[in-house]
Structure 1
């Protein structure tokens, strides 16, 4: 594309002095054509980033640089894109200040593996918090160890505390809102490192001389960490600890609910305390397993940006089957959900969307506060859905399921992908604004020295839920925990996993 500019050159310089009888000098004008050279686009990935976000991003109409009329010419557009050395730099510039969770990757296979529950880990799940003495030091508290991982063979258990990595004490500076501003927590990033453990004493943490080397390997984590029946004073209580909404395991979850149903449970404790989210479809199915009496009724309603709402805004309804197989529903009128500050997105969606229909009792802490959902975008700008008797309907960039080959037909010269926030969900009452998190009905934090064992009486959060069901108070709830022993999350292994804090919407189910 070439642009033509008119340059007016005034020829002739008048230097003579003229009196009133002089003839007026004639100034001759000459027009010369100047050709503006085409700007060459340096990165087709940058073009994909801008174009895909311009189409799909939730806050597209609020981000100046994503405006439909932001660039007057293609040269202006290419000049803007060429100003960024990396696609990540452009992506970050285009993000709204409201956005805490959108991501970009240079290899979509890593993204898809994470969604399937496949990732590299040593299996030790932990929370990082302050030691009782405070300061800028950080300690890690083991939450659980994943079966089949390297950590499962190292005699590490829930409640163990580490204070250093490779002999270097962990530290982190945080701002008033708790955000990390500087730290050495990257010591936990390598595939191989040694954790140095400590004991909790009356005088504080003291090294116990235990040093354990851990090796990260690729594993597939089953998100159903525990499923069991507790019989307390004649009441059969189902307990399910579910750590990620992973659609690949929905049938396994349905099998677990079949066992609860066949055992005649009348109450359910759903433990989502370490569940940062996942598939919206899985959340819908899980909620249908808990209930069953609301098949076909509204679970959640999508709200996309202005460009896509007229076409994609639809209702997600309770279901009674998974790919044709009947769902095992408990038909409950109440549920007790354990949720904390490491419970987000699809976990919060489950709490919020069940609330209009049954009594949802939230035990634990304030949740993460993520009410948006995302989709996967790859560089496939020409994708369209065939329509009978009509032209194909364009749906560029978005990864579709079913018979679509979005990735296979994408740009073969790169594997960049984005997972941007593209919409929000509201429940049947129209409520969906919980950016500050969902408040618990029965608040209780986990604490140093009083963690108990997951799924067993004596674990404080489980005991608190059981108390609400049976009216029987447990010993774990009668312990007075000082404030400096309560676990206040700085970050966690959960949050440090790639793409764990993502709620995914399946456009083609």
Structure 2
């Protein structure tokens, strides 16, 4: 098992100044005849870093290059915001938190309270219960359940005996319904929560048990599960549940494909339903594992703003991958186990399939057919880097400012495939639509041949249409949305420092 990874190799960038001239003109005095002092120094970092790297810098009026020309005016502007997070979002171009999600252009940039915590989260290391769930309204009376999509091995939930498919009918002794939904669900942010475990009996929910669970440090191996189905219409089918593009697990991912290669699979089903993204480099390695005939052709091209057009470049398919140890240091390379036995890819998808996961679909499209099964993906064709408050060191070091641990994760590039395609901001529509939540009372383990979304892929490989009527479908079930506090900012796509070819 991989040890915990304390370091994050995402790009650390910061600028002492980002206007055409690094100096700030002394504007003299303010209206009272006094020189303006900077009361919010962190805002200076926020503005300058965003001015330099933000993808929509030219569209944001407050990031205009002339904004810091006159020191007094610039400092007065910075001092007008006493919250650095709010300031960053105000600088963004039509950020969802400012204009509302329906009118947003930037749905993804965010402010980081503690970059050390965030760096661990990028590698699946969180303080959590260790569950993923989907809320569903299950009766006309407004009863709501959470069905467990995933329970992390060795997590507090796992140790309490919870498993995929369990039904949660209440939290802290209160049953969940449409009337109290928001208030009851908010308790999931607490450190300790009591979960009511229920079952369906006829048309009613019956509580069977309760589990009181306290958060703990959880480290998820994203290579969660894989197996081979020996005879699916005469074919050998590899199946992989992959939950995050975490570069510290590149070698574990490669091991899964060594198994597929040794088994001589004819088809591959890649389950990305719970995969919100991650490392672009790891995404290119996975694509290389899937399709060897691509050689070393272009997998994805990254385009930055005009100030950093010199950084524009590509990730190619590769014959080797980079390995990293638990401390985040490079351990060299190893040959990629590339499949030469498949000519199409099945992707199991959901609304949680985002960014780097969608990049797999888009990047492979020019080479092989990719069939999406499940529901529409999220729609994220842009990526980010981490900006640290470290003036004078360019982007090569983490923050040298010891007064805070704030950082930023703004969008700084858009990603394209070999054919120049990047138009999936509305997500990828499924070729075969299967709404998992309509089977909320029959969520089977990963790898079970009758698990409804996997079954649809296997049936398609067999050459006949999926027959969901063999498993009861509850068409009256209504999927509910909720921002899971354990999965905050999970839909990410970031790049490593080595993309910029540091000396």
TM-score (norm 1): 0.83
Match of 1:105 among 109, 112, 121: 112
Q: Matches of residues 375-390 of structure 1 in structure 2 within 5 Å?
A: 375-383=385-393
Alpha carbons 2:269, 2:348 under 8 Å: kept: yes
2:442 match: secondary structure: coil
Deviation at 1:226, TM superposition (A): 0.5
- Give the counterpart of 2:461 among 469, 478, 492: 469
The change in CA–CA distance for 1:183 and 1:64 in structure 2 (over 3 A counts) is: farther
Q: Map residues 353-372 of structure 1 onto 2, 5 A cutoff.
A: 353-372=363-382
* Displacement of 1:476: 4.6
CA contact (8 A) 1:2 1:35 kept: no
- Rounded to whole Å, the distance in 1 between the matches of 2:80 and 2:154 is 47
Match of 1:337 in 2: 347
Measured in 1, the distance between the counterparts of 2:248 and 2:190 equals: 28
| Deviation of 1:143 (Å) | 1.0
Query: Following the alignment from structure 2 to structure 1, what is the Cα–Cα distance between the partners of residues 57 and 121?
Result: 27
Which of the numbers 158, 168, 174 marks the counterpart of 1:162? 168
For residue 36 of structure 1, report the CA deviation from its aligned partner: 2.7
1:141 maps to: 147
Q: Does 1:500 align with 2:496?
A: no
Q: Which has the larger radius of gyration?
A: 1
Question: Would the alpha carbon gap of residues 330 and 132 (structure 1) be closer, same or farther in structure 2, given more than 3 Å must change?
Answer: farther
* Aligned mates of 2:115, 2:229 — CA distance in 1: 42
The 8 Å contact of residues 114 and 498 in structure 1, kept in 2 or not, is answered as no
Cα deviation digits, residues 82-116 of structure 1 (max 9, x gap): 11121112112112221112111222101110112
Distance in 2, Cα, partners of 1:411 & 1:39: 23
Q: Are 1:40 and 2:37 an aligned pair?
A: yes
Q: Taking structure 1 as reference, are residues 220 and 374 closer, same or farther at Cα in structure 2, changes over 3 Å only?
A: same
CA distance in 2, matches of 1:173, 1:434: 35
* C-alpha distance in structure 2 between counterparts of 1:480 and 1:141, whole Å: 16
Q: Per-residue CA shift, 1:446-476, capped at 9, x if unaligned?
A: 0222322211101011111011111256665
Change (3 A) 1:377 1:194: same
Gaps of 5+ in 2: 1-25, 95-104, 323-332
Residues 1:328 and 2:337 aligned together: yes
State yes or no: 1:428 paired with 2:418: yes
**Structure 2: distance between partners of 1:133 and 1:78:** 57
Q: What are the superposed Cα offsets for residues 6-39 of structure 1, whole Å, 9 maximum, x if unpaired? A: xxxxxxxxxxxxxxxxxxxxxxxxxxxx983111
Q: Flag as ranges the 4+ runs of structure 1 deviating above 3 A.
A: 169-174, 472-480
Separation in 2 of the partners of 1:232 and 1:489? 37
Once residues 460 and 206 of structure 2 are traced to their aligned partners in structure 1, the CA distance between those partners, rounded to angstroms, is: 39
Distance in 2, matches of 1:477 and 1:258, equals 36
CA distance in 2 between partners of 1:422 and 1:172 (Å): 39
The aligned counterpart of 1:276 is 276
CA contact (8 A) 1:242 1:270 kept: yes
- Corresponding residue of 1:484: 476
Q: Deviations over 1:157-208 (max 9, x none)?
A: 222211221113346689xxxxx9x64422001121101233224434x231
Does the 8 Å CA contact 1:128/1:492 hold for their aligned counterparts? no
Cα separation, 2, equivalents of 1:132 and 1:66: 50
Q: 8 Å contact 1:302–1:426 — kept in the other structure?
A: yes
Q: CA deviation at 1:479?
A: 3.7
Q: State the shift of 1:421 in Å.
A: 0.8
Query: CA separation in 2, counterparts of 1:74 and 1:4?
Result: 10
Partner secondary structure for residue 370 of structure 2: strand
Q: Mean Cα displacement is larger for which, 257-266 or 465-474? A: 465-474
Where do residues 406-421 of structure 1 align in structure 2 (5 Å cutoff)?
A: 406-407=397-398, 410-421=400-411
**1:267-290 CA distances to partner (integer Å, 9 max, x unpaired)?**
100000110111111110000000
* Of 25, 28, 32, the match for 1:3: 28
> How has the CA–CA distance of structure 1 residues 192 and 343 changed in structure 2, closer, same or farther, with 3 Å as cutoff?
same
Following the alignment from structure 1 to structure 2, what is the Cα–Cα distance between the partners of residues 484 and 307?
A: 52
Partners of 1:129 and 1:491 within 8 A in 2: no
Q: How does 1:197-212 map to 2 (within 5 A)?
A: 197-204=197-204, 206-212=205-211
Alignment match, 1:10: none
Instruction: List per-residue Cα deviations over 1:108-137 (Å, max 9, x = no partner).
Output: 1011101122111122221123233264x6
Are 1:256 and 2:266 matched, yes or no? no
Please give the per-residue CA displacement for 1:395-452, whole angstroms capped at 9, x wherever unaligned: x3x4xxxxx4x116x3233221111111110111111121111111111110222322
1:219 aligns with 2:232: no
For 1:54, which of 46, 51, 58 is the aligned residue? 51
Structure 1 or 2: larger helix share? 2
CA distance in 2, matches of 1:288, 1:419: 28
In the superposition, relative to structure 1, how do residues 207 and 78 fare at CA in structure 2: closer, same or farther (>3 Å)?
farther
1: CA distance, partners of 2:250 / 2:480: 29
Q: Give distance in 2, aligned partners of 1:4 and 1:70.
A: 17
The answer to whether the Cα contact below 8 Å between 1:459 and 1:476 also exists between their aligned partners in 2 is: no
For 1:302-317, what aligned pairs fall within 5 Å after superposition?
302-309=302-309, 311-317=310-316
CA RMSD of aligned residues (A): 2.2
State how far apart, in whole Å, the 2-side matches of 1:172 and 1:54 are: 44
Structure 2 residue 252 is the aligned partner of structure 1 residue 244: no
Task: Tell me what 1:453 maps to.
Answer: 445
Report the Cα offset of residue 68 of structure 1: 1.1
1:324-359 residue CA offsets vs partner (Å, 9 max, x unmatched): 311001122211110111100000011011011011
Q: Distance in 2 between matches of 1:429 and 1:252?
A: 30
Contact 1:345/1:371 (<8 A) preserved: yes
User: In 2, are the aligned partners of 1:125 and 1:144 still within 8 Å (CA)?
Assistant: yes
